[in-house]
């Protein structure tokens, strides 16, 4: 795995966990006073991004991060929160995978 993909997936992992925690709080699985956890988690992302800029531009890093986040959160939304995704939206997720491959192409 390339460094940009590793950094992007790490930042997306933070997104996925934090967004999932916010969703769980919103639907009442977890108490609202736990909202401080996603805030603290997001405070380390600029440090990770700063380090990632040694390997890739901010434009490409942002897209990699966003795409991984979209993919991770879609998987969590479907499997844990039982949300439904239409066929057209699933096709869009497939294109996200393709985009990650193209962004990592040398």
**pTM for the complete prediction?**
0.81
Range of the domain at 62: 3-103
Are 47 and 78 spatial neighbours (Cβ–Cβ below 8 Å)? no
**Which pLDDT value is given to residue 93?**
85
Query: Does the pLDDT value for residue 1 go beyond 80?
Result: no
**Which pLDDT value is given to residue 86?**
92
Provide the number of structural domains found in the chain.
Answer: 1
**Which pLDDT value is given to residue 19?**
94
**Which pLDDT value is given to residue 49?**
95
**Which pLDDT value is given to residue 102?**
87
Q: How far apart, in Å, do the first and last CA atoms of the chain sit?
A: 13
Dihedral sign for Cα atoms in the order 24, 30, 35, 38: negative
What are the tens digits of pLDDT across the range 38-53? Answer: 999 999 999 999 999 9
**Over the chain, what is the mean pLDDT?**
91
**Which pLDDT value is given to residue 3?**
92
Query: Does the pLDDT value for residue 71 go beyond 80?
Result: yes
């Amino acid at each position: 795995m390339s460094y940009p993909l590793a950094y992007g997936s790490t930042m997306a992992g933070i997104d996925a966990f934090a967004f999932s925690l916010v969703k769980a709080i919103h639907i009442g699985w977890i108490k609202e006073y736990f909202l401080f956890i996603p805030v603290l988690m997001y405070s380390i992302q600029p440090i990770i991004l700063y380090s990632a800029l040694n390997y890739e531009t901010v434009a490409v890093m942002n897209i990699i991060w966003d795409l991984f986040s979209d993919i991770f959160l879609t998987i969590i939304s479907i499997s844990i929160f039982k949300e439904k995704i239409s066929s057209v939206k699933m096709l869009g997720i497939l294109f996200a995978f393709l985009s990650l491959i193209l962004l990592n192409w040398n």
